Amino acid sequence: MEQRHYRGGLVGPVLLIGFGLVFLAQNLGWVQPDIWLSLLRMWPLILIAAGIDLLIPRRSVWGTLLSLILILAVFAGGFWLSGVRPGSARAGETENVSVPLGDASRARIHFSPPVAALEIDALGDSSAVILGTVPRAGYGQVQTESSQSGTTAVVDVTASGVYVIPAFGPRDDTWHFGLTSKVPVDLEISTGVGLVGADLTGLDLSALDIEMGVGRVVLTLPAEGSFTGNLSGAVGEIEVLIPAGVGVRVQMDAALASMITPNGQTYGPGEHEYTTPNFGSAKHRVELRIAQAIGAVIIRQR
């Protein structure tokens, strides 16, 4: 008779290894003594990880590997969002990023930080296509590539190298950027772990594409203009704020996520659609396609 071997859960071993690493980092002086207060606030991550462990069958090596990757991604995202990151880089130093608009009549802007908190809004009366600051500590080498393709200004902002954030002293890990409001903008954001706060109220947006691995996206749509956008996330939350008078249609594909609409309707996992009552008659209309694996999608009226 074939003997069956019981396979225990993955969450317990991951927690033991994680706590061991935290004790080691604390003994070596890499993290602050109050790190345990930050860890205590993240106890809901254990429930999420345990749910993933139960949900995904581990009858094969691939199933076990997928469970492990998702569990590690959940804990890594929680550590980053809580500020639990060891390192020795100097905090408070920033790098300025500025790209002139020139004679371009359109702009295509791409942000691709592997790990970051990114805040975006509209520039006022500025001659720059993009203007902002990035913290030097933690993101390796920040790279800004700019060119002009015909009448389109093309800007790509990313970071390379090892991600190390200082664990001591005050710090601001946020990428702060303003985008031109003088010409139509195609905006693309792709990041692994982090927060994206994009207030696009004053922008002339022509296209939007946001991809988030683990984290939260808060998106305020432009008050004027019409475009089609795509938002996707693996684990986390996507919140969309709709300005008054803007008509919006949302098509959502949710694996294990829920969607909450302005009228209080809650949808579970699956494919759903939400349309504002004024979509057919609105002068300014936005169509969004949202794909969220685990977490929530919240649609609100401003």
pLDDT at residue 148, rounded to an integer? 94
pLDDT at residue 232, rounded to an integer? 94
Instruction: Scan for tokens 């033991």, then name that residue.
Output: 16
* Neighbour count for residue 251 (Cβ, 10 Å): 14
Side-chain half-sphere exposure of 187, counting CA atoms within 13 A: 31
Long-range contacts of range 195-200, CB-CB < 8 Å, 24 or more positions apart?
A: 195/81, 195/116, 195/117, 195/118, 196/117, 196/118, 196/120, 197/117, 197/118, 197/119, 197/120, 198/118, 198/119, 198/120, 198/121, 199/120, 199/121, 199/122, 200/120, 200/121, 200/122
Residue 125 is classified by DSSP as S
Overall average pLDDT of the 66-90 stretch = 61
How far apart are the C-alpha atoms of 130 and 122, rounded to whole Å? 9
Quick: pLDDT tens for 216-274: 899 999 999 999 999 999 888 999 999 999 999 999 888 888 888 888 888 888 888 99
Computed over every residue of the chain, the mean pLDDT equals 79
pLDDT at residue 156, rounded to an integer? 95
DSSP, collapsed to helix, strand or coil, labels residue 201 as coil
Sequence-distant (6+) residues with CB within 8 A of 39 are 22, 82, 84
CB 103 within 8 A of CB 59: no
How far apart are the C-alpha atoms of 172 and 95, rounded to whole Å? 12
pTM of the prediction? 0.70
Quick: pLDDT tens for 124-156: 888 999 999 887 655 556 789 999 999 999 999
Q: What angle do CA 128, 159, 193 make, to 5 degrees?
A: 110
